[in-house]
Amino acid sequence: MAFFQLGLRRAAAHLSRVPFACGPCVRQQVPAPPSRVLQLARAARSYASTPTPESKTPIESLSSNTAKAARPAAQSSSSQNSRKSSSFPETNAKVVGYWLVGSAVSVFGIVVFGGLTRLTESGLSITEWRPVTGSLPPMSDADWQSEFDKYRASPEFKLINPHMDLAEFKKIYFMEWTHRIWGRVIGLTFVLPTIYFIARRRVTPRMAVNLVGISALIAFQGFIGWWMVKSGLKDDLFAPGSHPRVSQYRLTAHLATAFVCYAWMLVSGLGVLRTHRLLRDPEATTKMFAALKSPTLRTLRRSIAGLTVLIFTTVLSGALVAGLDAGLIYNEFPMMGNGLTPPKSELFDKFYSRKEDGSDLWWRNMLENPSLVQLDHRILATTTFTAVVALFVYSRTGRIKAAMPRDVRKGVTGLLHLALLQVSLGITTLMYMVPISLAAAHQAGALALLTGALVTGHRLRASKATQALVQKALQSPSKLQTGAISQKLLKKIAENKRV
């Protein structure tokens, strides 16, 4: 009984603390604002559903933050890659440099072979220009007889080779056919890779323009070649009774175009390879560029540029000598007959003037008179050799020698050796009355001397594009290192998350 009494007392005490109200009072009581209740409920739900920082592990938190930071970078990188894939690169592919140098070597070879074709008088053996169908030689006896009949109708056969038979004709025919096929091969092996490299964006915009220009020059060279040959196939294109030969003007244009094409290929290829070599060590390259900007080398740089122009001019005068066969007269050196020069009446003969007032006497004798043409070539060759020797002596002076890079010093020394060789070949060719072997070697020596001048001048210059790439390469290692660290961090985070 006492137990039940204790329970009732405790219940009465508890109930006395709960407020009671009657029905009317309950109905009159103002309820709490529902908006406040809803706000409290929503706040409670959001607080309950929002994860707290303590709910993530440190690895997960770091992974989340890194992923958020890397997402914009990845998006920007992908957009940059998409833009780069549709635009030209900043540097040319290294294979482009090797290809350009190889093409230049092929042009060097065809220039020498073209000289052999002229010396053997094989250039006029093919009397038609068929760029496509002429790629194959005659395949039957009837075809050979047809080609031989066409050659027999040419002035060269009538005046020089009237006793030539079919077997002898085949020899000179194959010389000219090989020369033409070689030219077509150079064209195809240059134009097709040009299309590929540009389409695949393996070259810079500037190099793309160079490749298109060289391709157009090769096509133009083929046209000039036929234009030159055509001048020796008709009697009305050279003086009556003269030796049947191609026009010396057209021969000079043909040789000049070949030299320009060769120089363009060579300098472009060397530029690509040099850029890749310089980017290997940007710090050393920066010091080298600073040395090249020295005012001390300014005169040397201009001298080599002027020497290159002088060599090219001497080559053109040599083409006039070859076109007129002027090397077959005055076969002694340094004398020309009884003196250093022929008589003035012979040098400026009115026979070569075509105007009554004689206004063209000077320039026509300089370009069409074999005696004056040979004298001009002697003067230009002697001037070129003297300029090379003077350049070598100047480069060995104390101030220039100290500022000149080592590869430039080697280039100047190589120029001197090439000039000595070329002068020896020229004098020997003249004294032995232009034998085929020496004449071909002399022509190759001219191109080799021009090559030496181009290479030496190229080493003294640094393009602005290359300098910009070197400056960019100096900053890229830190960026690359940061990117590598980020990749390693992401990889480590991913591995820890899997565990």
- Mind listing the pLDDT tens digit for each residue in 441-490? 999 999 999 999 999 999 998 888 888 888 888 877 544 344 444 445 54
Q: How confident is the model at residue 238 (pLDDT cuts 50, 70, 90)?
A: low
Torsion of CA 472, 477, 478, 482, to 10 degrees: 120
Q: Report whether pLDDT(236) > 80.
A: no
What is the per-residue pLDDT across 384-416, written as a single tens digit (0 to 9) for each?
999 999 999 999 988 888 888 899 999 999 999
**Lowest-pLDDT range of 125-134, 354-363, 403-412:** 125-134
Q: What is the mean pLDDT of residues 234-245?
A: 62
Q: How confident is the model at residue 202 (pLDDT cuts 50, 70, 90)?
A: very high
Q: Report whether pLDDT(80) > 70.
A: no
What is the per-residue pLDDT across 298-350, written as a single tens digit (0 to 9) for each?
999 999 999 999 999 999 999 999 999 999 999 999 999 889 999 999 999 99
Which pLDDT does position 30 carry in this prediction? 45
Q: What is the mean pLDDT of residues 415-430?
A: 96
Nearest to 230 by CA among 118, 147, 154: 154
Q: How confident is the model at residue 111 (pLDDT cuts 50, 70, 90)?
A: very high
Q: Report whether pLDDT(59) > 80.
A: no
Portion of the chain with pLDDT greater than 70, in percent: 76
**Lowest-pLDDT range of 47-56, 112-121, 406-415, 418-427:** 47-56
Portion of the chain with pLDDT greater than 90, in percent: 57
Q: How confident is the model at residue 58 (pLDDT cuts 50, 70, 90)?
A: very low
Q: Report whether pLDDT(35) > 70.
A: no
Q: What is the mean pLDDT of residues 436-441?
A: 95
More confident residue, 467 or 143: 143
Q: How confident is the model at residue 9 (pLDDT cuts 50, 70, 90)?
A: low
Cα–Cα distance for residue pair 244/264, rounded to 1 Å: 33
Is the C-alpha dihedral spanning 59, 65, 68, 70 positive or negative?
Answer: negative
Q: What is the mean pLDDT of residues 26-49?
A: 47
More confident residue, 110 or 285: 110
More confident residue, 69 or 291: 291
Q: What is the mean pLDDT of residues 78-97?
A: 71
Q: How confident is the model at residue 158 (pLDDT cuts 50, 70, 90)?
A: confident
Tokens encoding 392: 């070598």
Q: Report whether pLDDT(66) > 90.
A: no
Which pLDDT does position 273 carry in this prediction? 95
Which pLDDT does position 136 carry in this prediction? 87
Q: How confident is the model at residue 495 (pLDDT cuts 50, 70, 90)?
A: low
Q: Average per-residue pLDDT in the chain?
A: 82
Which pLDDT does position 234 carry in this prediction? 75
Q: What is the mean pLDDT of residues 5-24?
A: 49
Q: How confident is the model at residue 240 (pLDDT cuts 50, 70, 90)?
A: low
Tokens encoding 9: 């007392």
Q: How confident is the model at residue 263 (pLDDT cuts 50, 70, 90)?
A: very high
Q: What is the mean pLDDT of residues 200-225?
A: 95
More confident residue, 372 or 234: 372
Using the CB atoms, write b or e for 462-480: b if 16+ within 10 Å.
beeebeebbeebeeeeeee
The answer to whether 454 and 308 are in contact (CB under 8 A) is: yes
More confident residue, 236 or 289: 289
